[in-house]
Amino acid sequence: MRRIENAKALDGPGEQLGEAVATATRPRLVKNALSGTWLGHRLHPGLVPLPIGMWSGALLLDFVGTRSARSGADVLVGAGVVAALPSAAAGLSDWSDTFGGARRVGLVHATANSVALACYTGSLVARLLGRRKPGVALALLGAAAVGVGGYLGGHLSYVQGVGVERKAFEDGPTEWTPVLGADELAEGAPTAVRERRVVLLRYCQDLSQDEIAARVGYSQMHVSRLLRRALDRLRDQLLIA
């Protein structure tokens, strides 16, 4: 996975696709619809189970092999193709807001899912033409691609925190709470309170990055970035001194 996250060769295609998606989703109505703003929840995770479930059902019915099972499998393959389109659109909208390693992994995730969609579309066409064996073979290839895409999608959500509400596990204060003394504010210079909190949790309370992430509501990768940024700033200050 690290290789994909660090594969800068993916930046070129990712930039081109990102610009195209950003242009398509520039109207606020479109972006809000695909992001799930109207739902109060990300739309993509809610749509993904539909094609996966339909295609999985088709796979089981193909193995059963009776006449009625084959007919049901054909219907599920076609329904999965239709359901995959809005799911892909919502996923691309979310992906266009990512950067760095998450953007690279997301590009490969989207590629795997596109391969799966192409395989199942070809499977549907073959079935409609009466070529059942090639249709089933294409469905099996599509299922393998879905597995790869699903693994990468899980990494994006559970490891890199793409689409995760950052403050879901953080209870903010209900009353006025000072976070920084007025004498600590430098004129015309920003002060990173988030970085200070993460550094204190890491080096004063000896919490791991995963524990800090759970405490403050960030992903582990974001905590790592904040720590690295704080340590780089401290090093620069020491070198200047």
Q: What is the pLDDT of residue 166?
A: 59
Is the pLDDT at 193 greater than 70, yes or no? no
Alpha-carbon distance 166 to 155, whole Å?
Answer: 16
The answer to whether residue 103 scores a pLDDT higher than 70 is yes
- Pick the last residue of a domain from 158, 179, 205: 158
Do both 152 and 70 map to the same domain?
Answer: yes
For the chain, give the mean pLDDT: 85
Q: Which domain holds residue 137?
A: 2-158
- The answer to whether 107 and 13 have CB atoms below 8 angstroms apart is yes
Do 137 and 92 fall within a single domain?
A: yes
The per-residue pLDDT for 1 is: 83
Round to whole Å and give the CA distance between 56 and 50: 10
pLDDT band at 219 (very low <50, low <70, confident <90, very high): confident
- The answer to whether residues 51 and 84 touch, using CB atoms and an 8 Å cutoff, is yes
d(CA 91, CA 44): 5
Same domain for 154 and 194, yes or no, is no
Alpha-carbon distance of 133 to 66, in angstroms, equals 14
pLDDT tens profile 125-183? 999 999 999 999 999 999 999 999 999 999 998 888 887 765 555 555 566 555 556 66
For residues 66-70, average pLDDT? 93
pLDDT digits (tens, 9 = 90+) for 30-63: 989 998 888 888 899 999 999 999 999 999 999 9
Has residue 173 been placed in a domain?
Answer: no
Contacts of 87 (CB under 8 A, 6+ apart): 44, 47, 48, 50, 51
Domain tally, the chain = 2
The reply to whether 11 and 113 lie within a common domain is: yes
Give the mean model confidence (pLDDT) for residues 76-91: 96
On the CB side of 233, how many CA atoms lie within 13 Å of its CA?
Answer: 12
Closest listed residue to residue 85, CA positions, set 131, 35, 48: 48
CA distance 153 to 108: 10
